[in-house]
Amino acid sequence: MKKYLTHLITKEPTPQSAPLPETTQVANSAGGYSWAVDEWGHLRRFLILGSEGGSYYASERALTLENANNVLKCIQTDGVRAVNEVVAISQEGRAPKNDPAIFALALAVTKGDEATRQAAFKALPEVCRTGTHLFTFAELVNGMRGWGRGLRRAVGGWYLAMDNRSLVYQLVKYRQRNGWTHTDTLRLAHPTPANDTQGAIFKWVTYKPNKNGTGETAHVEANPLEWAEALNAPEDQALAFIWAFERVQKAADTATVVRLIEAYDLPREALPTQWLNDPDVWAALLTKMPMTALIRNLGVMSRIGLLKPLSEAENTVVERLTNADVLRKARVHPIAVLIALRAYSLGYALKGKVNRRGQAGAEKSAGWTPTPRVLDALDAAFELAFKNVEPTNQRVMLALDVSGSMSGGMVAGVPGLTPREGSAAMAMVTARSEPNYTVVSFQDKIVPLNISARMRLTDVVKMTNGLPFGTTDCAQPMLYALEHKIAVDTFVIYTDSETWFGKIHPAAALQDYREKMGIPSKLVVVGMVSNGFTIADPNDAGMLDVVGFDASAPALIADFGRGAI
Ligand code: CA
C-alpha cells in the first residue's frame, strides 16, 4: 500500500506530450499540449501576423481558412466588438499589413447581422484609408455578396467624406489595384456629388474614351485632358492638382516636371515612368515624399546617384528616419523598416519572382552602395516605429524559440522573414530599452547565442538564421534559469507555442521556478504565428499573451512587467 501512496503523492511532472491535469489544455500541431488562445486573441494574431505564407505546420490556404473561421466566430459572437477590434488595430497602425483587417471587415459586411453590417460600413473609411485599400475591399466583397444599397452607400460615402484636395490626391496616387479602378467603384456606388467641383472631379475620373478616342460625351462634356488644360492652372486647389497631373503626362523636359512637382506636390505615382531615373526629379519628390515611399525607395535614390555620402539627400533621409513623431504620424510599421533595412543593405533589388525564403531565381537590379549613416538611421527607425517603451528596470530574460518549426512560413507575408528571424528582431527592441536583460535561445536545450543590444539588427537576424534546427521544449528558459540560479523577474518567450518535447510543461516549470527562487516571476508569450495556441496559462495572472510584431508589443511587455496591466 505504501508504494501506491508514494506514487500518488510524488509529484512527477506531466510531460508536454500529455495535458496538464485539471486544465483546459488542447493538443497542438506538434503532438504536445498547450492552451488554446480565445477567439479574440486569435483574431488579434490574425490581424497583426496575417496568414500569408502559411506556417511550418499549415499551408497558406489551411492557415487562412482556420483564421477566416475564427473571424466568423467572432462576428457571430459579437460582431460589433469584432469590427471595433479591426478598427483599433488598423487605425493605430499596429499591424504590418492592412489586408487582414480589410478581409475581416469584408467578412463583417457579408456575414454580420444588421448591427454588425452597419458598424462595418461606418468603419470603411477608418480601415480603408487609401484607394488601394478600397480596391482590396471591393475585390473581396465582390466575391462574397452583391452590391446592395448599404454597400453602395458606404463606398460612395468613402469618396464624399473627403475634401476635394484629399480626394484628387487619392485618385491620382492610387489609380488601380487588382484590375479595380476608381471608375469601377464610382460607377458601382454612384454617389451624388456634394458640390460642383466634386462633380467635375467624378466626371474626370470616370471618363473613358471610346474606341475612336472621342470619349463618352454623355458622361463628360469634353476630353478630360483638354478640359484640364482649359482650366489653365485653376485657382481651386483640387482642380489645379488634376491640371498639374495631366500636364506632367505631356511634359518634355526635366525642368517642367520638377516645377510641377514643386508647385503642386505631385507624388511619384503621378509621373510617367520615364522620369523615374532622373536624380533632379527624385530630389524634387524627396522634399515632400511620404515616409512609406521614402523608406521603400532608398535603393532607387542611391542607384540613380541622389542618395550618396555627404549629400543633402542623405541628411534629409537621416533626419526624417530618426524622427519618432514623423514615423508614428505616418503609421510606419517596424516591419516596413526591417524590410527596407534588409533590402537597402543588400545593395541591389531582386527582380522577378521571389520565393518563400526570399531568394529569387530572378536577376539582380543595377546595384548601389548603401551609406552607413542611412543604415544606422534605419536601425534606429526600427525601434522608433514601435509604440514608446518605458523600461521596467527589472531583470528580463528574452528567450527565442529557434526550433525547426520557427524557420517555416513567413511573418506577415514577408518573403524570407521567418518567425525565428522576426523573434530576434523583436527581442532587440526590449533588449535595447531594458538595462538588465539577457538573451537566450532554445530548442530542446539552451542554444548559445551571443546577442547584445549594441549589435546591428541585420547581424542579429543573420545569426539566428544560421542556427541548426531542433525539437522544441518551451520550458527550457525557466529550467536553465533555475539550474544556474539566474534571478529573473520577467521571462519573455518568442515562440509558436508548438512545444512537445519536454518532461515538464512551461507553466509548471515557471511555477517551480517561482517557488524555488522565491521570485513571483512573470511570463510573457510573444506569439509569432497566427495559430491558436499558447503556452501561457490563461488562469495565471502572471502570464500574458501578446502578438509578435504588434507595434505595441514591446510597450505591452514592459507595462505587464511593471504591473501596469
Ligand atoms: Ca517547434
Mean per-residue pLDDT, 356-364: 58
DSSP string, 112-162: S-HHHHHHHHHHHHHH--SHHHHHHHHHHHHHHS---HHHHHHHHHHHHTS
Distance 67 CA to ligand 1 centre (A): 20
Distance 32 CA to ligand 1 centre (A): 10
CATH code at position 532 = 3.40.50.410
pLDDT in tens, 68-81: 999 999 999 999 99
Mean per-residue pLDDT, 343-350: 86
Distance 444 CA to ligand 1 centre (A): 9
Both 363 and 427 in one domain: the answer is no
- Cell (9 digits) for 40: 479574440
SS3 (DSSP) at 490: strand
Distance 449 CA to ligand 1 centre (A): 18
CB-based contacts of 172: which residues, under 8 Å, 6+ apart?
241, 242, 245, 266, 267, 269, 270
Strands (E) across 327-464 are located at 396-401, 437-442, 446-447
Is the pLDDT score of 231 beyond 70?
no
Distance 414 CA to ligand 1 centre (A): 20
Both 371 and 416 in one domain: the answer is no
Residue 320 lies in a domain: yes
Is the pLDDT score of 219 beyond 50?
no
Both 512 and 536 in one domain: the answer is yes
pLDDT band at 469 (very low <50, low <70, confident <90, very high): confident
Looking at 229, 250, 271, the residue that finishes a domain is: 250
Distance 549 CA to ligand 1 centre (A): 19
Distance 62 CA to ligand 1 centre (A): 18
Question: CA-to-CA distance for 196 and 102, rounded, in angstroms?
Answer: 32
Both 552 and 457 in one domain: the answer is yes
Q: Which of 550, 426, 406 is nearest to 469 (CA)?
A: 406
Task: State residue 565's pLDDT score.
Answer: 76
Distance 66 CA to ligand 1 centre (A): 19
Domain that holds residue 509: 26-37+387-561
Distance 85 CA to ligand 1 centre (A): 29
pLDDT band at 364 (very low <50, low <70, confident <90, very high): confident
Distance 10 CA to ligand 1 centre (A): 30
Distance 359 CA to ligand 1 centre (A): 23
Both 427 and 486 in one domain: the answer is yes
Alpha-helix residue ranges (DSSP H) falling in 181-297: 182-189, 196-206, 224-231, 237-249, 254-264, 279-288, 291-296
Is the pLDDT score of 86 beyond 50?
yes
Q: Which of 64, 69, 133 is nearest to 98 (CA)?
A: 133
Percent of all residues in the chain with a pLDDT value above 70, rounded to a whole number: 91
Distance 354 CA to ligand 1 centre (A): 25
Residue 423 lies in a domain: yes
How many distinct structural domains can be found in the chain?
3
**Beta sheet of 33-36, edge-to-edge order:** 26-27, 33-36, 533-534
Residue 232 lies in a domain: yes
Q: Which of 79, 105, 73, 78 is nearest to 91 (CA)?
A: 105
Task: State residue 227's pLDDT score.
Answer: 63
Distance 471 CA to ligand 1 centre (A): 6
Task: State residue 449's pLDDT score.
Answer: 85
Both 240 and 353 in one domain: the answer is no
Distance 500 CA to ligand 1 centre (A): 8
Q: What is the pTM of this model?
A: 0.90
Both 350 and 462 in one domain: the answer is no
Count how many Cα atoms sit within 13 Å of the Cα of residue 336 in the half-sphere of its side chain.
26
Question: CA-to-CA distance for 15 and 541, rounded, in angstroms?
Answer: 23
pLDDT in tens, 101-123: 999 999 999 999 999 999 999 99
Residue 115 lies in a domain: no
Task: State residue 215's pLDDT score.
Answer: 43
Task: State residue 189's pLDDT score.
Answer: 95
Both 441 and 537 in one domain: the answer is yes
Distance 491 CA to ligand 1 centre (A): 18
Distance 493 CA to ligand 1 centre (A): 13
Identity at 121, one-letter amino acid code? F
**Which of these ranges, 123-137, 147-161, 194-208, 251-265, has the smallest mean pLDDT?**
194-208
Distance 154 CA to ligand 1 centre (A): 44
**Which of these ranges, 23-32, 318-327, 341-350, 513-522, has the smallest mean pLDDT?**
341-350
User: Strands 396-401 and 490-495, how do they pair?
Assistant: parallel
- Contact between 243 and 172 under an 8 Å Cβ cutoff? The reply is no
**Which of these ranges, 163-167, 276-280, 468-472, 512-516, has the smallest mean pLDDT?**
468-472
Looking at 337, 369, 385, the residue that finishes a domain is: 385
Distance 524 CA to ligand 1 centre (A): 18
SS3 (DSSP) at 398: strand
Residue 196 lies in a domain: yes
Residue 60 lies in a domain: no
Both 296 and 429 in one domain: the answer is no
Question: CA-to-CA distance for 521 and 269, rounded, in angstroms?
Answer: 52
Both 355 and 233 in one domain: the answer is no
Task: State residue 218's pLDDT score.
Answer: 36
pLDDT band at 448 (very low <50, low <70, confident <90, very high): confident
Mean per-residue pLDDT, 222-244: 75
Task: State residue 10's pLDDT score.
Answer: 55
Residue 460 lies in a domain: yes
Both 348 and 469 in one domain: the answer is no
Alpha carbon separation from 191 to 157, 160, 200 (Å, rounded)? 7, 7, 13
Looking at 364, 385, 406, the residue that finishes a domain is: 385
Both 371 and 300 in one domain: the answer is yes
Task: State residue 209's pLDDT score.
Answer: 58
Distance 534 CA to ligand 1 centre (A): 12
Distance 442 CA to ligand 1 centre (A): 10
Is the pLDDT score of 431 beyond 60?
yes
Residue 313 lies in a domain: yes
pLDDT in tens, 375-429: 999 999 999 999 888 999 999 999 999 999 999 888 888 887 899 999 999 999 9
pLDDT band at 234 (very low <50, low <70, confident <90, very high): confident
